[in-house]
Amino acid sequence: MTVTDSGFHQLMRDRHRGALTTLRRDGHPQLSTVDYNYDLDRSMARIFTTADRVKVVNLHRDPRASLYVTSERGQRVGGRRGHS
């Protein structure tokens, strides 16, 4: 299912949990369930975590990341790729 830009922003604002993908040292994906806050003005998700987590270590080494978010029933899907 395709989500329009307005639908994407609504989904990101409505949901506050997603799956963050970072890259391990060996290149394999590391998935983490994360809570986030979506900043509509900057089209940016702020992830809540602590500095000692593997995802943070991964992002310091390689800032590429993806965030997967879905509606409660999984009917709509949103995601963003970006850099930390």
pTM over 0.75: yes
What are the backbone dihedrals phi and psi of residue 38, each rounded to the nearest 5 degrees, phi first?
A: -100, 125
> Hunting for tokens 């965030």 — which residue is that?
67
User: Tell me: the pLDDT tens digits for 22-56?
Assistant: 999 999 999 999 999 999 888 889 999 999 999 99
Dist CA 4 CA 79 (whole Å): 12
In order of start, what are the domains of the chain with their CATH numbers?
Answer: 5-83 (2.30.110.10)
Q: Higher confidence at residue 57 or residue 8? A: 57
Region of 47 please: left (phi>0), alpha (psi -120 to 50) or beta. Answer: beta
